[in-house]
A and B are shown apart, each in its own frame.
Chain A
Amino acid sequence: MDISEVPQEGNATLAGLRKAVYARNAENRIVSVASAGWEVEEIVTQQAADIFSAYTTAAHARVLKGESSPLEYWMYARRMDLATFAQSSGIWRWRIRRHFQPALFARLSPEMLDRYADALGISRQTLCQLP
């Protein structure tokens, strides 16, 4: 890639951040160049972020219908899947899955809620409701 080919088309997911890429200059030297972004990167980053947004929206709807607890909503809203959430909270997957049941979630002790809230980086009050 020559410097003139380094994409500068912008990338919304970078929010103005420029990334360093390596390209050949006029003297045939490969140097680091700041790139404002390539649409290809934007497409695939957006795709990955959209997958979590879709999970979050679906969980939101389930909570409103009384089919799930806010715990599931917040897990996806904080970009975690069940495996990541289990690892970062130190709580087994099957237990977390049980706590997606609204009735069981409502009976959780404050200590348990704090463990979840802490793993998600939100407060206990936030965890217990939808935004």
Chain B
Amino acid sequence: MNSAPLANFAHRHAAHCESGSVANLLTHYGCPLSEPMAFGLAGGLSFAYLNFIRIQEMPLIAYRVPPRGIVKGVGKALGIPFHVERFRSPLAGTARLDALLDQGQVVGLQTSVFWLPYFPEDMRFHFNAHNLVVYGREGDEYLISDPVFEHPVRCPRADLERARFAKGMLAPKGLLYYPQAPAQGAPVMQNGGGATPQNITRSIRRVARNMLAPVPVVGTSGMRWLARRIARLDPKAAASSRLIGHIVRMQEEIGTGGGGFRFLYAAFLQEAAESCDSPQLAEFSARLLDIGDEWRAFALAAARMVKGRDAFDPSAIAGLLSAQADREAIFFRDLRSALA
């Protein structure tokens, strides 16, 4: 049986799975939102180096907030809470998804990447916090808008169930979500979607505060800590090159829009400048774009060493990274005082 009314879903290609899914879902439900705006409103930008959390032998390094942070953050900023469900049994999870689709609902899901057959082989790792949108079903195939793909894709029922109920770290437990109708008189309804200058500046202030937090593992101090760790690496050990490669992967490979989300956040600042009518924010957007270029240069230098084109030089890599920490510290300090 096909799901009754085949929802007309506008798929948009996005840099990042979670901000893309949320932006596309909210747009579908009548609150037009771009990916950068979703990412920025949720205060998605960050940096974290958590050496004590190991994922497949590598420390956790993130250029953004933890998974689910964007869904929650956007919901909070716009006053549109997301309805969230988790399931104990795959059977119940699939039945509920089918029921929602039959009602014509479009639903966001958290899944593993490894079990999705439409992903290229070399990208299928056991990462459990991927996000996608299901907008219909035809027989035993789901119609999926996976934001990191250019076009909608299809996925057989058994595979999607497997991906939704993958176990291990960040296990999705069948998690599905869709926006609830906003409260009457909420600002979203008044201006037909989008964000108010107040909640835009509030989210920017939060990011600036987190990036400058006096905690060693996050923000610019996290970068400096990681730089010190890199400086101590043994240039001859295979594990050293692996760590450097891992950092670049987290920055560039896993759907960040380039430069570890810095370009995406610069796009948000540009949109925010228009919403808030603030030429100052537009200047910050241009500055962050330059900082993103420096991140690309860092990635290039690191990859050349991984590949053996340049001699492996941990102190050079560490130097580039701490220079980035300095640039971002100045940037976010200026940004914070501009909004004070």
A contacts, CB < 8 Å to B: 1, 12-24, 29-32, 34-35, 38-41, 43-49, 51, 78-81, 83-84, 87-90, 119, 121
B264 with A22: CB separation less than 8 A:
yes
Residues of A within 8 A of B54 (CB): 83
Contact partner of B13 among A34, A39, A43, CB < 8 A?
Answer: A34
B266 with A20: CB separation less than 8 A:
no
Q: Assuming A22-B258, A48-B249, A88-B168, what are 9 further A-B pairs, CB within 8 angstroms?
A: A1-B259, A14-B120, A23-B258, A30-B289, A41-B248, A41-B252, A45-B249, A45-B253, A84-B169
Q: Given known contacts A22-B36, A40-B248, A40-B303, is B168 in contact with A84 (CB within 8 Å)?
A: yes
A88 to B292, CA, bound (A): 37
Residues of B within 8 A of A79 (CB): 114, 124-126
Q: Given known contacts A1-B293, A22-B15, A48-B245, is B169 in contact with A41 (CB within 8 Å)?
A: no
Between A20, A51, A79, A90, the greatest number of chain B beta carbons within 10 A of the residue's beta carbon is seen for A20
Between A22, A49, A78, A89, the greatest number of chain B beta carbons within 10 A of the residue's beta carbon is seen for A22
Which residues of chain B (222-277) have a CB below 8 Å from chain A?
A: 241-242, 245-246, 248-249, 252-253, 255, 257-259, 263-264, 266-267, 270
B contacts, CB < 8 Å to A: 13-15, 35-36, 54, 56-57, 114-115, 120-126, 148-150, 162, 166-169, 171, 241-242, 245-246, 248-249, 252-253, 255, 257-259, 263-264, 266-267, 270, 285, 289, 292-293, 296, 299-300, 303, 306-307
B263 with A17: CB separation less than 8 A:
no
A79 to B296, CA, bound (A): 28
Residues of B within 8 A of A16 (CB): 120
A80 with B248: CB separation less than 8 A:
no
Residues of A within 8 A of B292 (CB): 1
B122 with A45: CB separation less than 8 A:
yes
Residues of A within 8 A of B124 (CB): 79
Contact partner of B258 among A21, A48, A90, CB < 8 A?
Answer: A21
B122 with A24: CB separation less than 8 A:
no
A131 to chain B, nearest CB (A): 15
A21 with B115: CB separation less than 8 A:
no
A87 to B171, CA, bound (A): 10
B126 with A84: CB separation less than 8 A:
yes
A39 to chain B, nearest CB (A): 7
B121 with A44: CB separation less than 8 A:
no
Residues of A within 8 A of B252 (CB): 38, 40-41, 44
B14 with A44: CB separation less than 8 A:
no
Residues of B within 8 A of A35 (CB): 258
B303 with A43: CB separation less than 8 A:
yes
A47 with B245: CB separation less than 8 A:
yes
Q: Given known contacts A22-B264, A39-B303, is B246 in contact with A80 (CB within 8 Å)?
A: no
A13 to B119, CA, bound (A): 10
Q: Given known contacts A22-B263, A22-B266, A48-B249, is B296 in contact with A17 (CB within 8 Å)?
A: no
A14 with B123: CB separation less than 8 A:
yes
A123 to B15, CA, bound (A): 36
Q: Given known contacts A20-B15, A29-B270, A32-B14, is B306 in contact with A1 (CB within 8 Å)?
A: no
Q: Given known contacts A20-B13, A43-B307, A87-B168, is B296 in contact with A81 (CB within 8 Å)?
A: no
Contact partner of A43 among B35, B242, B246, B306, CB < 8 A?
Answer: B306
A44 to B298, CA, bound (A): 13
Q: Looking across the interface, which residue of chain A has its beta carbon closest to that of B257?
A: A22
Q: Looking across the interface, which residue of chain B has its beta carbon closest to that of A45?
A: B253
A88 with B266: CB separation less than 8 A:
no
Residues of B within 8 A of A78 (CB): 114
B245 with A44: CB separation less than 8 A:
yes
Between A12, A24, A29, A39, the greatest number of chain B beta carbons within 10 A of the residue's beta carbon is seen for A24
In the complex, 6 of the A-B residue pairs with CB atoms within 8 angstroms, ordered by the A residue number, are A1-B263, A14-B122, A20-B15, A20-B257, A30-B289, A87-B167
9 closest Cβ pairs, A-B complex: A15-B120, A13-B122, A87-B168, A22-B263, A30-B267, A21-B258, A40-B303, A88-B167, A47-B245
B20 to chain A, nearest CB (A): 8
